[in-house]
Amino acid sequence: MFATPVYAATTAEGAAEHGGALFTLFGWLEVTSVTTTTWGLMVVIAVVSYLATRRLEKIPTRRLQIFMEMCLGKLLDFLSGIMGDRDRAKRYFPVLASFFILILLSNYSGLLPGAGHVTGLQAPTSTWSVTIAFAVIVFFATHYYGIKAKGLGYFKHFTQPIIFLLPLNILEEFTKPLSLSLRLFGNIYGEEMVIAGLFSLLPLFLPVPMQLLSLLFGFIQAFVFTMLASIYIASATAGHH
C-alpha cells in the first residue's frame, strides 16, 4: 500500500521493471512483483499455521495457539451472526476465513518498506487482476454452495418475485463480483495514490498519519469483502438445514 521515504527516489526505469514481468516460468507464465509477494504471503501463512497447530492442546497454553484460536473464534462469531447460526458458519468458515486472512495480509504487505517501489514487492490487492480473481472465486463458490444445498431448485430464485425479472436477476449476479473487486482494488490503490501525493508535498512527516490509518483501512477492506461474501453465500443457501 505505502512505501517508506527511502524508496521515494526510485528511478523510472526501476519502476517500469517493477510493473512488468520479473521472469517467466515454462516459457510463457509471467511472474511479477505481485506474484512473488503473494508467494511470500503464502509461505508466511503456511509457516504460522504449522507452528500454531504442530502441538495442538485442548486447553491451550502456548501463546501462538491461544492467539490464533482467539482471532479465528472472533471471526467465526461474526460470521455466525451474519449466517444465522454457528453450525452453518462453520460449514463455510474455511473459505471465508481464507479470504479474510489472505486479503488482510495482502493489504498490510503494502506497509513493508519499499512496497510498490522495490522490485519483487507489491501489495497484491493494489492490482485489479488479483481482486477480480478473488471476486470470481466468490461468484462460483456462491452458486456451487447454493446448488449443493438446494439442488436444481436453487435456480428458482432467479425468477422471483416474477419471472419477468429473470434478466435483471441474472445481471445482478454478474455485477456482484465486479463491485466486490472494484471496491477492494479502488480503496487500496487509492490509498497508494494519496500517500504518493502527500509524500511529494512533505516527505518527512505528512505521510505518517496516513500510514497509521492504513492499518485500520486495510482491516476494514478485508472485513467488508469477507462480510459481503458471507452474505452472498448465506442468501444462496437460505432455507437449507
Min mean pLDDT across 75-89, 169-183, 206-220 is at: 206-220
Q: Could you tell me the pLDDT band of residue 37, with boundaries at 50, 70 and 90?
A: very high
Under 8 Å between Cβ of 221 and 188 = yes
pLDDT at residue 192 tops 90:
no
- Host domain of residue 191: 5-236
Q: What is the mean pLDDT of residues 156-163?
A: 83
Q: What is the mean pLDDT of residues 59-75?
A: 91
Q: Could you tell me the pLDDT band of residue 17, with boundaries at 50, 70 and 90?
A: very low
| Contacts made by residues 137-140, CB under 8 angstroms, sequence distance 24+ | 138/99, 138/176, 138/177, 138/180, 138/229, 138/232, 139/173, 139/174, 139/176, 139/177
pLDDT at residue 79 tops 90:
yes
Please check whether residue 232 lies inside any domain of the structure: yes
At residue 204, the pLDDT reads 64
In DSSP terms, 175 is beta-bridged to none
Q: Could you tell me the pLDDT band of residue 9, with boundaries at 50, 70 and 90?
A: very low
At residue 214, the pLDDT reads 81
Please check whether residue 241 lies inside any domain of the structure: no
* DSSP H/E element including 168: helix 166-201
Q: What is the mean pLDDT of residues 127-138?
A: 94
**Cα–Cα distances in Å, from 137 out to 145, 168, 198?**
12, 22, 35
**Model confidence over 90-115: pLDDT tens digits?**
999 999 999 999 999 999 998 887 77
pLDDT at residue 3 tops 60:
no
Please check whether residue 39 lies inside any domain of the structure: yes
pTM given for the model: 0.84
What's the number of domains the chain is made of? 1
At residue 8, the pLDDT reads 38
At residue 240, the pLDDT reads 53
Q: Could you tell me the pLDDT band of residue 2, with boundaries at 50, 70 and 90?
A: very low
Q: What is the mean pLDDT of residues 18-44?
A: 85
CA 172 – CA 182 distance, rounded (Å) = 15
Percent of the chain surpassing pLDDT 90: 46
Q: What is the 3-state secondary structure (H, E, C) of 110-151?
A: CCCCCCCCCCCCCCHHHCHHHHHHHHHHHHHHHHHHHHHHHH
At residue 61, the pLDDT reads 86
Min mean pLDDT across 57-71, 93-107, 195-209 is at: 195-209
